[in-house]
Amino acid sequence: MKPLAEADRESTDDAAGAQSVERATALLLLLARYRSNGASLRDVVADSGLKQPTARRLLLALMRTGLVEQDMETRRYLLGPACYVLGTLAGERFGIHAMAVEGLVALAQGSGDNAFLTLRNGTHGVCVHRQEGSYPIRSHVLSAGDRHPLLVGAGNLAILAALPDDEIAFIIATHGAACFARYPNLTRAHLDAGIVEARERGFCVNRGAIFPGSWGIGSVVRDDTGAPVAALSIAAIESRLDAARQDVLGTALLKEAQALEARMAALVTPPAAHSARRGPPASRT
């Protein structure tokens, strides 16, 4: 058996290592939001909340792996070629993005509002696509690359509601305090109501809980096992999401989510073998 002091030291080292990995991953997602423009060190520090030496150290480590590169002229940081390689390799599993685009275009054109695809990433959701609508006043609170806990936003809430109750309790225990402090209009009562709504109707509505006046509506997307892996959502200003329009857009989201699930299922199951799995689950334990 290892001495207690040595075991404690290893435990501390493991925790520090895990924190570094989490911070480095967060920086990659941050840079993804800047696309081809790249981010300055000042941008990275401001957006991440890290101290400049820490941010610089992590960026240098990511540069050594090829996950990040720095433009020698502008000195801005961008996602590196290794990210492209990893994305290409992951494309077979997450081809959901390509399969969802047609439906997102239809949702944006049909509603005039912005439509989104969010992928589940553990206890978080990552927006991977924003399709612009034509209505002149739009909600811009969510962009491709944004990553939030599953408590925040209509798409994330739709994913959350599709999880077992014990997973929901864990996510709320993990992120609830920080989210409730950051977004005063977001409460446990709001989450509970959204979960019930999503399970009963197949879609949920964010009624300005994150940013007043910015509403959203989302529907979960499940894989061939029934697990929630993504969500489709629409964001609009409050006046464009009255009760009647919620029903219209909710039905449209549910239809596109079903179509996306069918396309995903066709990749792993012969067409005659899979059947519809939609609708509120009978129970959650």
Does residue 167 sit in the same domain as residue 74?
no
Do residues 134 and 247 share a domain? yes
- Angstrom CA distances, 138 to 127, 202, 237, stand at 17, 24, 7
Q: What b/e string do you get for 166-178 counting C-beta neighbours within 10 Å, with b at 16 or more?
A: eebeebbeebbee
Concatenated DSSP letters of 124-186? EEEEEEEE--S-SS---S--TT-EEETTSSHHHHHHHHTS-HHHHHHHHHHHHHHHHHH-TT-
pLDDT on residue 285: 36
Strand spans (E) along the chain: 68-70, 77-79, 114-121, 124-131, 147-149, 204-211, 214-222, 228-237
pLDDT interval class at 4 (50, 70, 90): very low
110 and 43 in one domain?
no
The number of distinct structural domains making up the chain is 2
Q: Tell me whether residue 119 is in a domain.
A: yes
Same domain? 24 vs 50:
yes
Residue 283 falls within a domain, yes or no?
no
* Mean pLDDT, residues 102-128 taken together: 92
Confidence of residue 167 (pLDDT cuts 50, 70, 90): very high
Q: What is the mean pLDDT of residues 181-186?
A: 92
123 and 46, same domain (yes or no): no
Q: Give residue-wise pLDDT tens across range 191-227.
A: 999 999 999 999 999 988 888 888 999 999 998 889 9
Q: What is the pTM of this model?
A: 0.67
Cα first-last separation, the chain: 40
- 274 pLDDT higher than 80: no
137 and 256 assigned to the same domain: yes
Domain coverage including residue 206: 93-268
Residues 22 and 55 grouped into a single domain: yes
Confidence category of residue 268, pLDDT binned at 50, 70, 90: low
**Could you tell me the CATH number of the domain that includes residue 36?**
1.10.10.10
Q: Do 55 and 132 share a structural domain?
A: no
Q: Sorting pLDDT into bands at 50, 70 and 90, what band is 271?
A: very low
Distance (Å, rounded) from C-alpha 192 to C-alpha 204?
Answer: 11
Same domain, 9 and 126: no
Say whether 207 sits in a helix, a strand or coil.
strand
More confident residue, 32 or 157: 157
- Quote the CA–CA distance of 31 and 20 in Å, as a whole number: 17
Chain centroid to CA 161: 14
User: Which domain CATH number covers 193?
Assistant: 3.30.450.40
Which range (60-69, 94-103, 139-148, 249-258) has the least confidence?
A: 139-148
Cα–Cα distance for residue pair 180/162, rounded to 1 Å: 21
